[in-house]
Chain A
Amino acid sequence: AQSVTQLGSHVSVSEGALVLLRCNYSSSVPPYLFWYVQYPNQGLQLLLKYTTGATLVKGINGFEAEFKKSETSFHLTKPSAHMSDAAEYFCAVSVPFSGSARQLTFGSGTQLTVLP
């Protein structure tokens, strides 16, 4: 069965510092990987995705993630945090479910706090 583990339910960084949010997955088939962001009292918004091809993917708002098959990881980074980045971030993996359409399995989420 597939699963997603996000290390650290809460991460705090100073404004201007590097953001690193960790995601490890397990999947018996080639996965498609996603990062979603959820701002307070809002729905989920896609940040970026990995499907095939280049393993370093760039998303919106300056975020990027690298797919490392050997480490089964898909960590999210941003070189310089901004106050507006404060939100909850979810890593998700898409794999076949019950032999039918691919479904998303989500990690438990990481709450990012940006300190002034």
Chain B
Amino acid sequence: NAGVTQTPKFQVLKTGQSMTLQCAQDMNHEYMSWYRQDPGMGLRLIHYSVGAGITDQGEVPNGYNVSRSTTEDFPLRLLSAAPSQTSVYFCASRPTGQVTYNEQFFGPGTRLTVL
């Protein structure tokens, strides 16, 4: 299994540009999520999904859109990038069900800079 994969690894955008961060997992996990990591702030939840066709907002959803058309993929869209969105973005997944205790598997991250 490849686990959780993310592309691209690095990206530089200009203010106002749009882009999509890709995330895929091959573990058949129902639950997927996106976090952003900023210095001194840990990881903050942007959006999450508990299955195909179901998404919901996390702690910091503004400026980001998501969709979940398949179990495997959970892309994150920036419609109009802003410098405040400069961050490292992590995708994570886990099976649903109480037995998992919410242990999540993380991708390697995408480092995004918005100029």
- CB of B42 closer than 8 Å to a CB of A: yes
A108 engages B40 (CB within 8 Å): yes
Closest Cβ of chain B to A23, distance in Å, is 11
**How far, in whole Å, are A42 and B74 apart by their CA atoms in the complex?**
20
CB 8 Å contact bits of B36-63 with A (1 = contact, 0 = none): 0000111111001010000010100000
Other-chain residue from B48, B101, B103, B106 in contact with A103 (beta carbon distance below 8 A) = B48
Closest Cβ of chain B to A97, distance in Å, is 8
Task: Bin the interface of chain B by size.
Answer: 20 to 34
**For residues 38 through 97 of chain B, which have their beta carbon under 8 Å from a beta carbon of chain A?**
40-45, 48, 50, 56, 58, 90, 92, 96
Interface centre among B31, B41, B106, B108 (most CB of A within 10 A): B106
- CB of A44 closer than 8 Å to a CB of B: yes
CB 8 Å contact bits of A92-106 with B (1 = contact, 0 = none): 101001101111111
**For residues 81 through 116 of chain A, which have their beta carbon under 8 Å from a beta carbon of chain B?**
90, 92, 94, 97-98, 100-109
Task: Bin the interface of chain A by size.
Answer: 20 to 34
**How far, in whole Å, are A41 and B72 apart by their CA atoms in the complex?**
24
**For residues 21 through 49 of chain A, which have their beta carbon under 8 Å from a beta carbon of chain B?**
32, 34, 36, 41-46, 49
A104 engages B104 (CB within 8 Å): yes
Chain B residues touching A, majority SS:
strand
Contact flag A43-B106 (CB < 8 Å), given A9-B40, A32-B101, A108-B40: yes
Closest Cβ of chain A to B54, distance in Å, is 10
**How far, in whole Å, are A100 and B44 apart by their CA atoms in the complex?**
17
Supply 13 A–B pairs (Cβ within 8 Å), ascending by A: A42-B108, A43-B106, A45-B106, A49-B101, A101-B96, A102-B102, A103-B33, A103-B48, A104-B45, A104-B104, A106-B35, A106-B43, A108-B42
| B interface list, Cβ under 8 A from A | 4, 31, 33, 35, 40-45, 48, 50, 56, 58, 90, 92, 96, 101-104, 106-109
Closest 4 A-B residue pairs measured CB to CB?
A: A106-B42, A94-B102, A43-B106, A44-B106
Q: A36-B106, A105-B45 are in contact. List 18 more A-B contacts (CB 8 A).
A: A32-B101, A41-B109, A42-B108, A43-B90, A43-B109, A44-B90, A44-B106, A49-B101, A51-B101, A90-B42, A98-B56, A101-B31, A101-B50, A101-B102, A104-B43, A104-B102, A106-B44, A108-B42
